Amino acid sequence: MTDDFPYLELADHHLDLREAVRGIAENKIAPYAAEVDAAARFPTEAYDALVASGFHAPHVPEAYGGEGADSLATCIVIEEIARVCASSSLIPAVNKLGSLPLILAGSEELNQRYLPPLAAGTSAFSYALSEREAGSDTASMKTRAVRDGDHWVLSGQKSWISNAGISDYYTVLAVTDPDGRRGSNVSAFVVEKSDEGFTVGAPEKKLGIKGSPTCELIFDAVYLPADRIIGEPGTGLQLALRTLDHTRITIAAQAVGIAQGALDHALAYVQERQQFGKHIADFQGIQFMLADMAMKLEAARQLVYIAAAKSQRHASDLPFFGAAAKCFASDTAMEITVDAVQLLGGAGYTQDFPLERMMRDAKITQIYEGTNQIQRLVMARQLLGTPVR
């Protein structure tokens, strides 16, 4: 833990980054957030603003034309965007999720082919692991890739894919050895949007994050050049789990941002609203609620930043801290947004204020990139020294 202590007090460049992202978020993303949610449309204004500033995929290494942001910096970017629009915060979050397998295990040829367009903002990346009957139980996936000469033939489907249809590239997990040992028979591939036989289904109708399309992917005998494989055959599931160890921290950062936005609005409201001849912020019951909200939010933020430090160092205990950060921050975000709606009373239940949207958006942070029940399993198995299968 000692090596992580400096991250509890942000360095000047991280503080400057927060200020820069907050300005973009408040001026160029927040004005469209309610309409993006109401129309369930992709936040093109946010995408353009983030690409112009280099915040759409800040994690891409400088060697490939990216910003080379460290894990903490990427979390700060996502946190600040989520503070005003959770859907928009999925632009950098999903780009990292989709491309991190290449950064961790891809060949130099693959990285040179796919990371520069991502860094330039001319292309986006998504991640395809889950299936209808293979959510938490990822090893039971049915999607297959069969070797055929100098190609792999990919068939099957993936479900709940964030930014599907928007992204040009997809990291797809598929079984390549049906008779192999469970968990060691899966491989990862890059699929391009233009590949023949690859189609994207209709967007899901969701409770929240409506500006980020979530769709099914269908692979009907998609021929992939053999060099599209990421890493060695059979290592895909291990790579997927390694990826999630890092990227679920970005979901924790998203949850912190949503919670901060909700607290900000609640604080402003209770200092304006009057009942019984005084501002409701003067009532002790309200003050206790606000104190609890802020206390839990700061605890969540510090846990996220510690996990980000461990992600940057590829620390051996990252699986525990990544799971803990995601689980605690998302549970906290759900609690804080519900309390924020309560503090606004009837006004909080209407679309005149963003609290009901934030409450709806917060819920998904407890579900995607591993439900919080799965996060608790990951933590327990880390404590007990039991490998996650």
Q: What is the pLDDT of residues 81-138, one digit of tens each?
A: 999 999 999 999 999 999 999 999 999 999 999 999 999 999 999 999 999 988 788 7
Q: pLDDT of 276-290, one tens digit each?
A: 999 999 999 999 999
User: At residue 227, does pLDDT exceed 90?
Assistant: yes
Domain assignment of residue 251, given as a range:
237-384
Are the C-beta atoms of residues 337 and 358 closer than 8 Å to each other?
A: yes
In the structure, how many helices (H) and strands (E) does the chain have? 11, 10
Other C-beta atoms closer than 10 Å to the C-beta of 62 total: 10
User: At residue 314, does pLDDT exceed 60?
Assistant: yes
User: At residue 388, does pLDDT exceed 60?
Assistant: no
Other C-beta atoms closer than 10 Å to the C-beta of 267 total: 16
User: At residue 141, does pLDDT exceed 80?
Assistant: yes
Residues annotated as catalytic are 369
Whole-Å CA distances, 130 to 89, 106, 141, 157, 257: 21, 21, 8, 9, 26
Q: Are residues 247 and 370 in the same domain?
A: yes
Q: Are residues 211 and 86 in the same domain?
A: no
Q: Are residues 206 and 284 in the same domain?
A: no
The number of folded domains in the chain is 3
Could you tell me the CATH number of the domain that includes residue 8?
A: 1.10.540.10
Q: What is the mean pLDDT of the chain?
A: 95
Q: Phi/psi of residue 272, each to 5°? A: -105, -40
User: At residue 66, does pLDDT exceed 70?
Assistant: yes
User: At residue 211, does pLDDT exceed 60?
Assistant: yes
pLDDT at 6: 45
pLDDT at 224: 98
d(CA 304, CA 53) in angstroms, rounded, equals 24
Q: Are residues 241 and 364 in the same domain?
A: yes
pLDDT at 1: 39
Structure tokens at 261: 């936005």
Structure tokens at 126: 């998504």
Structure tokens at 197: 């036989």
Average pLDDT for residues 17-38, to the nearest whole number?
A: 98
| Within-domain flag for 389 | no
pLDDT at 139: 78
pLDDT at 202: 96
Max distance between CA atoms of the chain, in angstroms, equals 80
User: At residue 4, does pLDDT exceed 60?
Assistant: no
User: What is the helix (H) or strand (E) element at residue 278, kind and residue range?
Assistant: strand 278-279
d(CA 246, CA 229) in angstroms, rounded, equals 21
Quote the percentage of the chain above a pLDDT of 70: 97
pLDDT bin (cut points 50, 70, 90) of residue 322 is very high
pLDDT bin (cut points 50, 70, 90) of residue 145 is very high
Q: Are residues 253 and 220 in the same domain?
A: no
Q: Are residues 102 and 48 in the same domain?
A: yes
| Within-domain flag for 260 | yes
Q: Which residue has the higher pLDDT, 86 or 4?
A: 86
User: At residue 168, does pLDDT exceed 70?
Assistant: yes
Domain stop point among 234, 249, 271: 234
Whole-Å CA distances, 330 to 4, 61, 370, 375: 22, 28, 11, 11
End-to-end CA distance of the chain: 27
| Within-domain flag for 228 | yes
Predicted structure pTM score? 0.96
Exposed e or buried b per residue across 113-140, where buried means at least 16 C-beta atoms within 10 angstroms of its C-beta? bbbbbbbbbebbbbbbbbbeebbeebee
Domain stop point among 87, 108, 124: 124
Q: Are residues 243 and 377 in the same domain?
A: yes
Domain stop point among 109, 124, 139: 124
